[in-house]
Amino acid sequence: MTTELEKILQSDTEEQINRDIFPKKVYPENNIFHKTLHYIGVSIFVISFIAGIVFASEKDGYHTSFSLVTAITWWSSGFISGISFMAFGEIVKILHDIRGKFH
C-alpha cells in the first residue's frame, strides 16, 4: 500500500503535486462587486449629465439662459468620477479572474 506522500512524490509534474495537496477551490463566475462598481459608474454618468443641464439652466423672470461653463464642469467631473468607478470595477474583475486561474 502506498501512502498519499508516496503518490505525491511519484508524480512528475508540479501541477499534479499542487492538485493533490491543494484541492481546487470553486469561485463564483459572477463578481457582484465588479458589477456594482460598473453600475455606480454608469449612474454617475447619467446623474451628472442631468445635473449639468439642471444647474446650468438659469431662470430669472421672463428669460431662461444656459451657462455652458457650469454644464461642462458638471459633465467633466461626472465623466472623471464615472470612469474611475468603472476602472476600479475592471481591476476587481481582472484580479478575480487571475485568482480563479490559480486556484
pLDDT digits (tens, 9 = 90+) for 14-44: 556 566 565 566 556 678 899 999 999 999 9
Whether residue 93 is contained in a domain is answered as yes
56: containing domain: 31-102
Number of domains in the chain: 1
Whether residue 18 is contained in a domain is answered as no
DSSP letter for each residue of 33-83: HHHHHHHHHHHHHHHHHHHHHHHHEEEETTEEEE-HHHHHHHHHHHHHHHH
pLDDT at 97 over 90: no
Angle between helices 68-102 and 32-56 (to 10 degrees): 180
Better pLDDT: 103 or 70:
70
pLDDT digits (tens, 9 = 90+) for 36-78: 999 999 999 999 999 999 999 988 878 889 999 999 999 999 9
Among 43-47, 79-83, 95-99, the range scoring the smallest mean pLDDT is: 95-99
* Cell 500500500 sits on residue: 1
Sign of CA dihedral 93, 94, 96, 100: positive
Whether residue 82 is contained in a domain is answered as yes
Whether residue 48 is contained in a domain is answered as yes
Whether residue 12 is contained in a domain is answered as no
Whether residue 59 is contained in a domain is answered as yes
